[in-house]
Amino acid sequence: MSDNELVVQSTPEKLLELAISKDIDIEKLERLMAMVKQHNEAEASKSFKMAMVGFQAKKPILPTTSVVSFNSTSYKFAPLSKIQQAVDPILSEFGLSYNWKQEQTEGKVKIICIVSHIDGHSEETSLEAPNDTSGGKNAIHSIGSSVSYLKRYTMTAALGLSSDDDTDGKTKDDPLEMDKKTLEPGCSIWDVKVADLKNGNITLDKLKSEFRISAKNVSIITKVSLVYNILIITLCLVLFSLILQSFHPFHRTFH
């Protein structure tokens, strides 16, 4: 039996038995143990990837059931509890699980989401953010808010999840993109921003860079702005025509 065949068929216990029964020297035993370890790690990695492929085929679209709206801020998001409720049964079906590690430095918190497979392979996704001191939070609440925020985003990034709030065609599992405020009819700043666009105070590209705007709402904004511009141009033409007509009597007099 070759070393490679021996590696595929062996466990550390079997190798130890073989070393005792066949009087294998320590150097060769260590080499075989290293090969077994590499083989097992490669197999575990393959099993992890196959499980992730299975999960991706059945993963849910996350419902954005929670809304934040205060002052000029308005956006939707999928809370962590709903994400877990949606993905846990599917992950379990493919032998996958997850947990988080937390690291803190002065004024910042780092969350590491670890997705593991039952065969032993795991992969990590991490994000770091300052403590969330918005809304008059105390020190403990500011840490807790950032931890909850980072847990959601590391999990969605690690598992390749997306929400049903398809805003502007960009990558929905990008945390930076997901963190943008949503601009849509009915929110507190919709009329203000549409007026800014009509008055030329802001461009559509600038709006899209600052807010999450669905393709449907981009179309609405574009049409509103276009109609407004056509109306302005029409009024200008009418005014210009009236001015020209007012000069006609003088024209006839001098003629």
Tokens 């899209």, residue located: 208
Tokens 């590209």, residue located: 205
> What pLDDT is stored for residue 105 in this prediction?
83
SS3 203: coil
Strands (E), 176-241: 181-182, 211-212
Query: How far apart, in whole angstroms, are the C-alpha atoms of residue 181 and residue 217?
Result: 14
**Tokens encoding 204:** 């559509």
pLDDT in tens, 113-139: 999 999 999 999 999 988 877 666 787
Give the max Cα distance, the chain. Answer: 126
**Size (the chain), residues:** 255
- 152 secondary structure, DSSP code: H
> What pLDDT is stored for residue 177 in this prediction?
45
Which residues are registered as beta bridge partners of 76? Answer: 67
Distances in Å between the alpha carbon of 10 and those of 6, 22, 23, 43, 120? 6, 15, 17, 14, 17
pLDDT in tens, 9-62: 556 667 667 666 767 677 877 777 787 788 888 889 999 999 999 999 898 887
Return all residues near 132 (Cβ < 8 A) that are at least 6 apart.
142, 145, 146, 149
- What average pLDDT score do residues 76-88 get? 86
Choose between 237 and 227: higher pLDDT. Answer: 237
Residue 176 C-beta-side C-alpha neighbours within 13 Å: 3
Q: Report domain extents, the chain.
A: 3-58, 66-182, 183-255
pLDDT in tens, 191-211: 888 888 777 777 766 776 677
- Residue 146 confidence (pLDDT) above 70: yes
Of 210, 177, 176, which Cα lies nearest the Cα of 192? Answer: 210
Give the pairing of strands 211-212 and 181-182. Answer: parallel
Give every strand in the sheet of 122-130, ordered side by side. 96-105, 108-117, 122-130
Choose between 110 and 30: higher pLDDT. Answer: 110
User: 10 Å Cβ neighbour count for 90?
Assistant: 17
Query: How far apart, in whole angstroms, are the C-alpha atoms of residue 34 and residue 30?
Result: 6
Average pLDDT, the chain: 75
- Residue 170 confidence (pLDDT) above 50: no
Which residues are registered as beta bridge partners of 114? Answer: 99, 124
> What pLDDT is stored for residue 175 in this prediction?
42
> What pLDDT is stored for residue 228 in this prediction?
60
Choose between 248 and 125: higher pLDDT. Answer: 125
